[in-house]
C-alpha cells in the first residue's frame, strides 16, 4: 500500500515536471519575442526594455530555472494582453464557477450514466435497452457544441424554459450542465451496461439467487458493487473530457469561467495566459488522477494488478 | 461446431441379428486404427485473415459500418465530381438559402453551396483523420516493437517515458502545439500524430512481448535470422490485427478532436474548411438558419458512428481476446 502510494506520487511528480518542461520548450519555440506586438506599437526601444524587465535576455537555462522556481511557488506569470493582471488573479477569479459546473457535471454523468446502464443491462435486448442504446449512440457521436446550440434554440429561445446566458440563478445551470455531461453520460452508461452484464453471468450471482435472495437485493448488494469498480476507474478520463468540454460549453453559455478564459486567450493569442492555464489545467488533472489512483488501491486491492505493466 | 454422427439403431433389426449373450468376440469388435482417417483434413484450412473475415461477415453492424466508411472515403476522393459548384465561390445574392433543387443543402451566409462545402469538409476531415492515424501508427508501432524486442532496462525506460507522457492531458497539449505551430492542416495533423501514438505503442509492445517467445520466433532465430528481420517479418505482421483495430477506433477520436479545435478557433484555416469548421461556423447562425448546422453535424455524427461500428466489429473479428 505504502510502496504503491510512493510509486504513484513519484510518477506524478515526474509527469508534472515533464509537462512544465514541454510547456517551456513549446513557448520558447514560438518565433519572435512575446513583445513583438509592443514593438509594432511603440518601437524597438520599449520592446528591449520589456524584454530586459521580464528577463528574456538571460540565457535559456537561467530562464528555465527561474520558471521552475516560480512554478513551485505557484506563480504562473502575467497576462500579455491585459497588462498588470497576473495569471494567478485571473485563475482565482474564474476557477470557482468552472469548478462548480464541472463537479456537478461529473456527479450528473455518473449517477445518470450508471442508472441508464443498469436499466439497459437488466432489460437486455428489450425496449428499454434499445432506447438507452439509441441515446448513448447519439451522445457519443455528436460534438457537445451541437447539443449546446440545439438546447439554447429549443429550451432557451423557443420554449423559454431556461435562461441561456451566465450563471446567476440555479436555473442557469441546467442547460450548460446537461450539454456538458451528455457525452459522458453516454460513455458511462455503455460501460456500466457491459460491466453489469459481465457480473450478472458470474457464479456467485447464481449462488446468491439460489440462496433465495430477491432480485432487487442481488442487484444492489452483489451485482452493482462488483460492476461499479471498472466504471469508477474511468473517473480520470471523465475528469479530462469534462474539463476540455467546459471550454466550449462555457464560451457558448457565456459563463465567466476558466474554460471561457482559455478560449479568449487562444483567440487573442495571449501566449502567457494560454501557458498558465494549460499548466493549471494539467496540474489539476494530473493531481486528480493521482488521488483517484491512490483511492482505488485503497478501495479495491485487486486494482493494483492492472496497474503493473506486465 | 463438430458433432459426431450418432449411431442409428434400427429397432426392427435388433430382434433377429442380436448376438447371443455371453459371446464377447461378437459383442466387442476392435475398431482398428485407420491412419488415413486420422490424417484426413475435413475442410480446407483457413488462414487467420479468412477466419477473421468469416467472423466479420456475420456481424451486420460492422458490415454496415464498413460499407459506409468506404462510401464516405469515396465521397472524400471523388466528391468534387458530384457537384458543379466551387466550395469557395460566393454568390452574395443567394445567401442563407434553404435546401432546394439547385442547392441541395442550401447556401451559407456568403451564398456558398452548402452541399459542396460539406463534401469538401468530409474530404478535409478524413484527410486529417487518416493521415494523422498513419503517422501515429508508424511512430507507435516502431516504438512499441523496438521496446519489446530490446527488452530489459531499455524496455523499462522506454515504457516509463510512455507512462509519463500518457499522464499529460493530450487535448490541452494539442491546443498548445497548435498555438505554437500556427493553425492549419499540417500542424493539426502533426499535433494529432505527436499525441496519438502513445496508446498504440503500449498495445503493440504488449502484443510483441507475447509473440517474442513463441516457437516460430525461436525457430527463426535458430535459423540465424537477425532480430530486425524477425521483427519486420514475424512480429509486426502478427500484431497487425491489434494495430488495425486501434487505428480504426482512433479515427473517430481525431474527427471529434478536430471539431473541438475548430470550435475554439484552432481548426483548419480558410479557405479550407473541415466538417468541424462548418459546424462551428453554423452554430453562430443557428437561431435563424438551423439547416446550416444540421448537415455538417449529421456528417460528423455519421462518420463517427460508422467508424465505431466498423472498429468494434473488427475488434471482435480480429482479436476475440479483446472483446469485452
Sequence spans of domains, chain B: 101-322
CA distance B300 to B273: 13
* pLDDT of A299: 66
Does residue B208 contact residue B145 with C-beta atoms inside 8 Å? yes
Does residue B112 contact residue B166 with C-beta atoms inside 8 Å? no
Measured between beta carbons, which residues in chain A are less than 8 angstroms from residue B262?
Answer: none
Distance from CA of A168 to the nearest CA of B (A): 23
User: And the C-alpha cell for A16?
Assistant: 508534472
CA nearest to A215, candidates A111, A115, A122: A122
CA nearest to B179, candidates A262, A22, A271: A271
The verdict on a CB contact (< 8 Å) between B180 and A30 is yes
Instruction: Count the neighbouring beta carbons within 10 Å of the beta carbon of residue A190.
Output: 21
Instruction: Count the neighbouring beta carbons within 10 Å of the beta carbon of residue B258.
Output: 28
**Phi and psi (nearest 5°) for B113?**
-70, 120
Distance from CA of B307 to the nearest CA of A (A): 10
pLDDT by position in tens, chain B (length 324): 444 454 455 555 455 555 556 666 666 777 777 777 777 888 888 888 888 888 888 888 889 999 999 999 998 888 788 777 777 777 777 777 777 767 777 777 777 778 888 888 899 999 999 999 999 999 999 999 999 999 889 998 998 888 888 878 888 888 888 888 888 888 899 989 988 899 899 999 988 998 888 899 999 989 998 988 988 888 988 888 889 888 988 898 899 888 888 888 888 877 788 888 888 888 777 777 777 888 888 889 999 999 988 988 888 888 766 544
Distance from CA of A56 to the nearest CA of B (A): 18
Alpha helix positions (H), chain A: 2-28, 36-42, 44-53, 60-72, 87-122, 127-141, 144-151, 170-200, 203-210, 215-217, 224-232, 235-252, 258-268, 271-299, 303-307
A 172-231 residues with CB < 8 A to B: 194, 198
Domains and CATH numbers, chain A: 2-72 (no CATH), 94-269 (1.10.3720.10)
A 146-165 residues with CB < 8 A to B: 146, 148-150, 152-153, 157
Measured between beta carbons, which residues in chain A are less than 8 angstroms from residue B298?
Answer: none
CA distance A161 to B39: 76
User: And the C-alpha cell for A233?
Assistant: 476507474
Measured between beta carbons, which residues in chain B are less than 8 angstroms from residue A234?
Answer: none
Look at residue B178 and give its three-state secondary structure: helix
Does residue A194 contact residue B324 with C-beta atoms inside 8 Å? yes
- Owner of C-alpha cell 477520436: B253
Is A134 part of the contact surface with chain B (CB cutoff 8 Å)? no
- Chain B residue with Cα closest to A279: B172
The verdict on a CB contact (< 8 Å) between A143 and B263 is yes
Measured between beta carbons, which residues in chain B are less than 8 angstroms from residue A30?
Answer: 179-180
Look at residue B268 and give its three-state secondary structure: coil
- DSSP calls for A16-46: HHHHHHHHHHHHHTSSS-TTHHHHHHH-HHH
Distances (CA, A) of B14 to B9, B24, B25, B29, B111: 8, 17, 18, 17, 90
CA distance A135 to A143: 14
Distance from CA of A15 to the nearest CA of B (A): 5
The verdict on a CB contact (< 8 Å) between A251 and B264 is yes
Look at residue B113 and give its three-state secondary structure: strand
pLDDT digits (tens, 9 = 90+) for B126-171: 999 999 999 999 999 999 999 999 988 999 899 888 888 887 888 8
- In whole angstroms, how large is the CA radius of gyration of chain A? 24
Q: Is ipTM over 0.85?
A: no
CA distance A164 to A176: 8
- Chain B residue with Cα closest to A262: B264
- Chain B residue with Cα closest to A139: B301
Is A258 part of the contact surface with chain B (CB cutoff 8 Å)? no
Is A136 part of the contact surface with chain B (CB cutoff 8 Å)? no
Residues lower than pLDDT 70 in chain A = 1, 31-42, 299-310
pLDDT digits (tens, 9 = 90+) for B283-316: 777 777 777 888 888 889 999 999 988 988 888 8
The verdict on a CB contact (< 8 Å) between B265 and A289 is no
CATH superfamily of B101-322: MetI-like (1.10.3720.10)
pLDDT digits (tens, 9 = 90+) for A147-176: 888 888 888 877 878 777 777 777 788 888
Size of interface A-B (CB pairs under 8 A): 118
Measured between beta carbons, which residues in chain A are less than 8 angstroms from residue B289?
Answer: none
- Chain A residue with Cα closest to B207: A310
CA nearest to A124, candidates A232, A201, A208: A201
Amino acid at each position: 500500500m505504502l510502496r504503491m502510494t510512493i510509486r504513484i506520487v513519484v510518477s506524478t511528480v515526474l509527469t508534472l515536471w515533464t509537462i512544465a518542461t514541454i510547456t517551456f520548450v513549446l513557448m520558447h519555440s514560438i518565433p519572435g519575442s512575446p513583445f513583438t506586438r509592443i514593438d509594432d506599437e511603440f518601437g524597438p526601444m520599449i520592446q528591449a526594455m520589456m524584454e530586459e524587465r521580464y528577463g528574456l535576455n538571460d540565457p535559456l537555462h537561467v530562464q528555465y530555472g527561474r520558471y521552475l522556481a516560480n512554478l513551485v511557488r505557484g506563480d504562473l506569470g502575467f497576462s500579455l494582453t491585459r497588462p498588470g493582471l497576473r495569471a494567478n488573479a485571473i485563475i482565482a477569479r474564474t476557477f470557482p464557477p468552472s469548478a462548480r459546473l464541472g463537479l456537478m457535471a461529473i456527479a450528473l454523468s455518473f449517477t445518470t450514466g450508471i442508472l441508464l446502464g443498469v436499466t439497459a443491462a437488466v432489460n437486455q435486448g428489450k425496449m428499454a435497452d434499445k432506447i438507452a442504446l439509441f441515446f448513448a449512440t447519439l451522445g457519443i457521436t455528436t460534438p457537445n457544441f451541437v447539443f449546446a446550440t440545439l438546447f439554447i434554440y429549443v429550451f432557451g429561445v423557443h420554449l423559454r424554459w431556461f435562461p441561456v446566458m451566465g450563471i446567476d440563478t440555479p436555473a442557469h445551470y441546467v442547460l450548460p450542465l446537461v450539454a456538458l455531461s451528455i457525452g459522458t453520460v453516454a460513455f458511462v452508461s455503455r460501460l456500466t451496461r457491459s460491466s453489469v452484464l459481465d457480473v450478472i453471468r458470474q457464479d456467485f450471482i447464481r449462488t446468491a439467487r439460489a440462496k433465495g435472495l430477491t432480485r432487487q437485493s442481488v442487484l444492489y448488494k452483489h451485482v452493482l458493487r462488483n460492476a461499479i469498480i471498472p466504471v469508477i476507474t474511468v473517473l480520470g478520463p471523465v475528469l479530462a473530457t469534462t474539463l476540455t468540454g467546459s471550454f466550449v460549453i462555457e464560451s457558448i453559455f457565456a459563463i465567466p469561467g476558466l474554460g471561457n478564459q482559455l478560449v479568449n486567450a487562444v483567440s487573442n493569442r495571449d501566449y502567457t495566459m494560454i501557458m498558465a492555464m494549460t499548466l493549471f489545467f494539467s496540474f489539476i488533472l494530473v493531481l486528480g488522477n493521482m488521488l483517484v489512483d491512490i483511492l482505488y488501491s485503497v478501495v479495491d486491492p485487486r486494482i493494483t494488478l492492472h496497474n503493473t505493466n506486465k | 461446431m463438430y458433432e459426431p454422427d450418432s449411431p442409428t439403431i434400427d429397432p426392427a433389426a435388433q430382434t433377429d441379428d442380436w448376438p447371443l449373450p455371453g459371446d464377447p468376440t461378437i459383442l466387442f469388435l476392435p475398431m482398428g486404427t485407420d491412419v488415413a482417417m486420422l490424417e484426413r483434413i475435413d475442410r480446407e484450412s483457413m488462414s487467420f485473415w479468412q477466419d477473421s473475415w468469416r467472423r466479420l461477415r456475420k456481424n451486420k453492424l460492422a458490415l454496415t459500418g464498413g460499407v459506409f466508411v468506404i462510401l464516405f472515403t469515396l465521397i472524400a476522393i471523388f466528391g468534387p465530381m458530384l457537384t458543379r459548384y466551387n466550395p469557395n465561390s460566393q454568390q452574395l445574392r443567394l445567401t442563407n438559402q434553404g435546401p432546394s433543387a439547385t442547392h441541395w443543402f442550401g447556401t451559407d451566409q456568403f451564398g456558398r453551396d452548402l452541399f459542396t462545402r460539406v463534401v469538401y469538409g468530409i474530404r478535409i476531415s478524413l484527410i486529417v483523420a487518416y493521415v494523422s492515424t498513419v503517422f501515429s501508427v508508424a511512430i507507435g508501432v516502431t516504438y512499441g516493437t523496438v521496446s519489446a524486442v530490446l527488452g530489459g532496462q531499455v524496455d523499462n525506460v522506454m515504457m516509463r517515458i510512455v507512462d509519463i507522457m500518457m499522464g499529460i492531458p493530450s487535448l490541452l497539449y494539442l491546443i498548445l502545439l497548435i498555438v505554437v505551430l500556427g493553425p492549419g492542416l499540417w500542424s493539426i495533423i502533426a499535433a494529432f500524430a505527436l499525441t496519438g501514438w502513445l496508446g498504440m505503442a503500449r498495445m503493440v509492445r504488449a502484443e510483441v512481448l507475447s509473440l517474442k517467445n513463441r516457437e516460430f520466433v525461436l525457430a527463426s532465430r535458430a535459423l540465424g535470422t537477425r532480430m530486425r528481420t524477425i521483427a519486420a517479418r514475424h512480429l509486426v505482421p502478427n500484431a497487425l490485427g491489434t494495430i488495425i483495430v486501434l487505428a480504426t477506433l482512433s479515427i473517430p477520436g481525431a474527427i471529434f478532436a478536430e471539431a473541438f479545435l475548430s470550435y475554439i478557433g484552432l481548426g483548419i484555416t480558410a479557405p479550407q474548411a473541415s466538417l468541424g469548421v462548418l459546424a462551428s461556423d453554423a452554430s453562430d447562425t443557428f437561431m435563424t438558419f438551423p439547416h446550416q448546422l444540421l448537415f455538417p453535424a449529421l456528417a460528423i455524427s455519421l462518420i463517427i458512428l460508422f467508424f465505431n461500428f466498423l472498429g468494434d466489429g473488427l475488434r471482435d473479428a480480429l482479436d476475440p481476446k479483446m472483446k469485452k
